[in-house]
Amino acid sequence: MGAQSLKPATKTPPPFTGLRVIELAEDPAGEYAGRLLAEMGAEVLKLEPVDGAPSRKVGPWAGGVAGPETSLNFRYYNSNKRSVLLEVTAPGGVAALKSLTANADVFITTLQPAALKAIGLDLAVLHAEQPSLIILSVTAFGLTGPWADYKSSDLIALAAGGPLNSCGYDDHSIPPIRPGGNQGYHTAASFAHIGAMLALLNRQQTGEGQLVDVSMHEACAVNIELANPYWFYPRINVQRQTCRHAQPSPTQSALFRSADDRFVYFALILSDPRAWAALVKWMDGKGMAADLVEPAYNDLAYRQAHFYEIQSLVECFFLIQTAHEAYHDGQAAGLPIGVLNAPEDLFEDEHLLARGFFKEVEEADGSSALYPGPSYVFSAFDAVPRTRAPKLGEHQVAELAR
């Protein structure tokens, strides 16, 4: 059966169409969990205090002007959502919140136990009062345990959970370095998204909602790649390395400078005879193989004994070509190689452009901006158009009239 025959004649609505989500989130983990649901068709109602969500106060700023409507951070995490003002700490705030969740399918909250207690919101009681509601709690350390009310951040989560220890440079006099992109928050959001989907599947079968308790600390603790298995089995700690996986002992550098002063990542794997043959053929085609074509190099032990000579030749080889030339030629040879891009380079990335990844979205002021595309492309579901993040309290009147 050909691939074309698998495509349905007509597509169905996105999987979360008709799902109503109430989001009370004070950090990127909860906001990103809400956005993941929104981009699959859910209606996500974001509750904000009168001065706006904390994420509205985080730059950078559109046009270089700080303000609640110009935070690019807020726009990223809150596209495809609706905004309603609700002071949950004010008298009647929790009652108003419960009125909203009574007509919802999922309630996302990032409030820790002490904060919940301070406003008089008990999630167990809410579950008993609204048994079909799925309560998605996404907090730093979970709802129980001695650290339940400890403060955290993306950096703290990565440090306490373990991933940070594997991130940094060969020079261990330099402390571990936090990877960018809010990876701790996004890891927790991904776990929360999975938890929400499992709870929704269970509700389809039983009609019952449940309380889903997601801990960013625990999510990070199981997301430390090779560090876990190396410690669980041989009791070995991995060591951080520059731009390559942490390992029990140092491995060779995989970064090579190119003729245009950019870098490529190339994993020089001496033990794979096919990869070695492909590399030598590629280098020889450009007159750069030198003595690597000699039969002696067909022996792995010989290659390992002469590793530094090989490494030096490979370094010179990349210096005679641009990063993109090396990338395309190396990939054509079947070798694992990639270009190190800066974020701004992605707007000109031919592959992302060909797939239509970036979507132009009209902002509230009439300007337009490019947003990242959907996290998923389904063959059977209609796409959910990317829409701008809401203005503060933009949907107040419409929601109150429901």
Closest CA to 351 of 321, 334, 373: 373
> Which of 48, 138, 129, 36 is closest to 374 using CA atoms?
36
Is residue 152, in this structure, part of any structural domain at all? yes
Q: How many C-beta atoms lie closer than 10 Å to residue 246's C-beta?
A: 20
If asked whether residues 331 and 368 sit together in one domain, one would say no
**Does one domain contain both 113 and 7?**
yes
Neighbours of 306 (CB within 10 A): 16
295 Cβ neighbours under 8 A, 6+ residues apart:
none
Q: Say how far apart CA 111 and CA 23 lie, in whole Å.
A: 11
| pLDDT score recorded for residue 288 | 96
Residues 335 and 378 grouped into a single domain: no
Looking at the structure of the chain, the number of domains it has is 2
| CATH for 33 | 3.40.50.10540
Residue that is last in its domain, among 287, 308, 339: 339
Residue 353 lies in a domain: no
* DSSP bridge partners of 20: 43
Task: Verify that 272 and 318 share a domain, yes or no.
Answer: yes
For the cut 80, the answer to whether the pLDDT of residue 109 exceeds it is yes
Q: Is residue 228 part of a domain?
A: no
Residue 2 pLDDT class (50, 70, 90 cuts): very low
Judge whether residue 326 has pLDDT over 60.
yes
In a domain, 42, yes or no: yes
Instruction: Answer yes or no: do 364 and 293 share one domain.
Output: no
Q: What is the pLDDT of residue 275?
A: 95
Binned at pLDDT 50, 70 and 90, residue 1 comes out as very low
- For 35-173, strand residue ranges (E) read 43-48, 81-85, 106-109, 134-139
Q: Is residue 352 part of a domain?
A: no
With bands split at pLDDT 50, 70 and 90, how would you rate the model's confidence at 252? confident
Tokens matching residue 295? 């039969």
Please tell me the predicted confidence (pLDDT) of residue 8: 57
Residue 9 confidence (pLDDT): 61
Mean pLDDT, residues 344-364 taken together: 94
**31 close to 25: Cβ distance less than 8 angstroms:** yes
Whether 4 shows a pLDDT value over 50: the answer reads no
Q: How confident is the model over 383-402, as a mean pLDDT?
A: 89
Nearest partner of 375 among 386, 389, 366, judged by Cα = 386
- pLDDT score for 397: 83
Report the predicted TM-score, pTM, of the whole model to 2 decimal places: 0.91
Q: In the prediction, which pLDDT does 3 show? A: 43
My answer on whether 294 and 159 are in the same domain is no
Strands 20-24 and 106-109, bridge-based pairing: parallel
Judged against a pLDDT cut of 90, whether residue 299 lies above it is answered with yes
Residues 209 and 118 in one domain: yes
Residue 115 lies in a domain: yes
Is the pLDDT assigned to residue 277 strictly greater than 90?
Answer: yes
As separate numbers, helices (DSSP H) first and strands (DSSP E) second, the chain gives 15, 13
What CA–CA distance (Å, rounded) separates 288 from 316?
8
Angle between helices 183-206 and 154-161 (to 10 degrees): 80
DSSP state of 347: G
Kind of pairing, strands 20-24 and 211-215? unpaired
Residues 182 and 281 in one domain: no
Say yes or no: 54 and 165 in one domain.
yes
Same domain, 330 and 208: no
Tell me the CATH number at 266: 3.30.1540.10
Same domain, yes or no, for 24 and 71?
yes
For residue 288, being part of any structural domain is answered with yes
* CA proximity to 263, closest of 193, 333, 345: 345
Residue 388's DSSP bridge partners are none
Q: Are residues 80 and 215 in the same domain?
A: yes
Query: Per-residue pLDDT averaged across 162-191, rounded?
Result: 95
Query: Measured between alpha carbons, how far is 194 from 7 in angstroms, rounded to an integer?
Result: 26
pLDDT value for 6: 54
17 inside domain: yes
**What is the domain range of residue 274?**
255-339
Average pLDDT over every residue of 361-387: 92
What pLDDT does residue 268 have?
86
pLDDT-derived band of residue 276, with 50, 70 and 90 as boundaries?
A: very high
